[in-house]
Structure 1
Amino acid sequence: MSSKELSKEIISLVGGEDNVKSVFHCATRLRFRLKDTSKANKIALEKTPGVITVVENSGQFQVVIGNNVGSVFDQIMKETNLQDADKDNDKADASDSTNFLGKAVDIISSIFSPILGALAGAGVLKGLLALCLSLNWIAGTSGTYLILNAASDSVFYFLPVLLAITAARKFQTNQFVSVAVAGALIYPSIIAAVGSTDSLGFLGIPIILVNYSSSVIPIILAVWVQSYIEKWFRSFIHESVRNILVPMFALLIVIPLTFLAFGPVGSLISDGLASGYTWLYNLSPLVAGAIAGAFWQVFVIFGVHWGFVPIMLSNIASLGYDTMLPILSAAVIAQAGAVFGVFLKSKNPQMKALAGSSTLAAVFGITEPTIYGVTLKLKKPFIYACVSGAIGGAIIAVGGARALAFSLPGLLALPTYFGTGFVWVVVGLVVAFVLALLLVFVLGFDDPTVASPEQTPEVPTYTADSLIEKEVIVSPLTGILQSLESLPDEAFASGAMGKGIVIEPSSGRLTSPVNGTITTIFPTGHAIGITSDEGAELLIHVGVNTVKLKGKFFEKRVKEGDQVKQGQLLLEFDVEAIKAAGFVTATPIIVTNSANYLDVLKSAKTNVENGEYLLTVVN
Structure 2
Amino acid sequence: MVDFKQDAKQLLEDIGGPENISAVTHCATRMRFVLNDPSKADNKKIEKIPAVKGTFTQAGQYQVIIGNEVATFYNEFEKISGKSGVSKDEVKQASKKNQNPLQRAMSVLAEVFSPIIPAIVVGGLILGFRNILEAIPMETLGQAMADGVPQVNAAGEPIYNTIVQVSQFWSGVNSFLWLIGEAIFHFLPVGITWSIAKKMGSTQILGIVLGITLVSPQLLNAYAVPGTAAADIPFWDFGFFQIDMIGYQAQVIPAMLAGFLLAYLELGLRKIIPQAISMIFVPLFALVPTVLIAHTVLGPIGWQIGDWISNLVYSGLTGSLSWLFGLLFGTFYAPLVITGLHHMTNAIDLQLVADFGGTNLWPMIALSNIAQGSAVVAIIFINRKNKEERDISIPAAISCYLGVTEPAMFGINIKYAYPFFAAMIGSGIAGLVASIFNVTANSIGVGGLPGILSIQNQYWGIFLICMVIAIVVPIVLTFAFSKNKRFQKMGIDDLPQPKLGS
Q: Distance in 2 between matches of 1:360 and 1:313?
A: 27
Q: Distance in 1 between matches of 2:286 and 2:393?
A: 52
The yes-or-no answer on 1:158 pairing with 2:187 is yes
Tell me the equivalent position of 1:308.
345
Of residues 430, 433, 444 in structure 2, which corresponds to 1:406? 444
Cα-to-partner distance string for 1:153-211 (whole Å, 9 max, x where unaligned): 42223222222222112222111111110011111112469657144146444434443
Tell me the equivalent position of 2:283.
247
Q: Is the contact between residue 310 and residue 348 of structure 2 (CA under 8 Å) also seen in structure 1?
A: yes
The yes-or-no answer on 1:390 pairing with 2:428 is yes
Tell me the equivalent position of 1:214.
250
Q: Is the contact between residue 111 and residue 167 of structure 1 (CA under 8 Å) also seen in structure 2?
A: yes
Q: Distance in 2 between matches of 1:38 and 1:202?
A: 59
Tell me the equivalent position of 1:375.
413
Higher helix share: 2
Q: Is the contact between residue 163 and residue 219 of structure 1 (CA under 8 Å) also seen in structure 2?
A: yes
**CA root-mean-square deviation:** 4.1
Tell me the equivalent position of 2:156.
none
Structure of higher RCO (CA pairs closer than 8 Å, 6+ residues apart):
2
Q: Distance in 2 between matches of 1:228 and 1:69?
A: 40
Q: Is the contact between residue 326 and residue 401 of structure 1 (CA under 8 Å) also seen in structure 2?
A: yes
Q: Give the residue type in structure 1 aligned to 2:420.
A: F
The yes-or-no answer on 1:339 pairing with 2:376 is yes
Q: Distance in 2 between matches of 1:353 and 1:88?
A: 33
Cα-to-partner distance string for 1:416-447 (whole Å, 9 max, x where unaligned): 21334332211111022112112223442699
Please identify the structure whose Cα radius of gyration is greater.
1
What's the offset of the Cα at 1:321?
1.2
Q: Give the residue type in structure 2 aligned to 1:350.
A: E
Q: Is the contact between residue 367 and residue 431 of structure 2 (CA under 8 Å) also seen in structure 1?
A: yes
Tell me the equivalent position of 1:180.
209
Structure 2: which 5+ residue stretches go unaligned?
Answer: 76-83, 137-161, 489-499
Cα-to-partner distance string for 1:366-404 (whole Å, 9 max, x where unaligned): 111111111221211111111111111111111111111
Q: Is the contact between residue 359 and residue 440 of structure 2 (CA under 8 Å) also seen in structure 1?
A: yes
Taking the TM superposition and a 5 Å limit, the aligned residue runs for 1:446-525 are: none
Of residues 167, 182, 200 in structure 1, which corresponds to 2:235? 200
Partner-residue secondary structure (3-state), 1:105: helix
Q: Is the contact between residue 64 and residue 369 of structure 1 (CA under 8 Å) also seen in structure 2?
A: no
Tell me the equivalent position of 2:114.
113
Tell me the equivalent position of 2:79.
none
Tell me the equivalent position of 1:61.
61
Q: Distance in 1 between matches of 2:410 and 2:435?
A: 28
Q: Is the contact between residue 292 and residue 393 of structure 1 (CA under 8 Å) also seen in structure 2?
A: yes
Taking the TM superposition and a 5 Å limit, the aligned residue runs for 1:131-142 are: 131-135=132-136, 136-138=162-164, 142=171
Partner-residue secondary structure (3-state), 1:55: strand
Of residues 145, 149, 157 in structure 1, which corresponds to 2:174? 145
Tell me the equivalent position of 2:321.
284
The yes-or-no answer on 1:82 pairing with 2:83 is no
Tell me the equivalent position of 1:225.
261
Q: Is the contact between residue 236 and residue 245 of structure 2 (CA under 8 Å) also seen in structure 1?
A: no
Q: Distance in 1 between matches of 2:287 and 2:92?
A: 22
Q: Distance in 2 between matches of 1:242 and 1:51?
A: 50
Cα-to-partner distance string for 1:79-117 (whole Å, 9 max, x where unaligned): 96637749998xx97xx6843312211111111122223
What's the offset of the Cα at 1:151?
3.0
Q: Distance in 1 between matches of 2:129 and 2:354?
A: 19
Q: Distance in 2 between matches of 1:131 and 1:11?
A: 54
Q: Is the contact between residue 191 and residue 211 of structure 1 (CA under 8 Å) also seen in structure 2?
A: yes
Partner-residue secondary structure (3-state), 1:243: helix
Q: Give the residue type in structure 2 aligned to 1:129.
A: R
Tell me the equivalent position of 2:127.
126
Tell me the equivalent position of 1:474.
none
Q: Distance in 1 between matches of 2:31 and 2:195?
A: 16
Once structures 1 and 2 are overlaid, which stretch shifts more, 61-70 or 231-240? 61-70
What's the offset of the Cα at 1:354?
2.1
Q: Is the contact between residue 29 and residue 62 of structure 1 (CA under 8 Å) also seen in structure 2?
A: no
Q: Is the contact between residue 340 and residue 437 of structure 1 (CA under 8 Å) also seen in structure 2?
A: yes
What's the offset of the Cα at 1:15?
6.4
Partner-residue secondary structure (3-state), 1:429: helix
Q: Distance in 1 between matches of 2:130 and 2:100?
A: 43
Q: Is the contact between residue 55 and residue 411 of structure 2 (CA under 8 Å) also seen in structure 1?
A: no
Q: Is the contact between residue 15 and residue 41 of structure 1 (CA under 8 Å) also seen in structure 2?
A: no
Tell me the equivalent position of 2:365.
328
Q: Distance in 2 between matches of 1:69 and 1:311?
A: 36
Q: Is the contact between residue 201 and residue 207 of structure 1 (CA under 8 Å) also seen in structure 2?
A: yes
Partner-residue secondary structure (3-state), 1:421: helix
Partner-residue secondary structure (3-state), 1:165: helix
Q: Distance in 1 between matches of 2:30 and 2:91?
A: 19
Cα-to-partner distance string for 1:107-141 (whole Å, 9 max, x where unaligned): 11111122223322332233233224433455587
Partner-residue secondary structure (3-state), 2:444: coil
Higher strand share: 1
Of residues 274, 278, 281 in structure 2, which corresponds to 1:238? 274
Q: Is the contact between residue 53 and residue 67 of structure 2 (CA under 8 Å) also seen in structure 1?
A: no
Q: Give the residue type in structure 2 aligned to 1:200.
A: F
Q: Give the residue type in structure 2 aligned to 1:63.
A: Q
Q: Is the contact between residue 38 and residue 62 of structure 2 (CA under 8 Å) also seen in structure 1?
A: no
Q: Distance in 2 between matches of 1:156 and 1:45?
A: 44
Cα-to-partner distance string for 1:597-619 (whole Å, 9 max, x where unaligned): xxxxxxxxxxxxxxxxxxxxxxx
For the structure 1 residues 381 and 82, does the alpha-carbon distance in structure 2 shift closer, same or farther, using more than 3 Å as the test? Answer: closer
Q: Give the residue type in structure 1 aligned to 2:464.
A: V
Q: Distance in 1 between matches of 2:113 and 2:174?
A: 28
Partner-residue secondary structure (3-state), 2:272: coil
Tell me the equivalent position of 1:429.
467
For the structure 1 residues 384 and 86, does the alpha-carbon distance in structure 2 shift closer, same or farther, using more than 3 Å as the test? Answer: closer
TM-score in terms of structure 1 length = 0.61
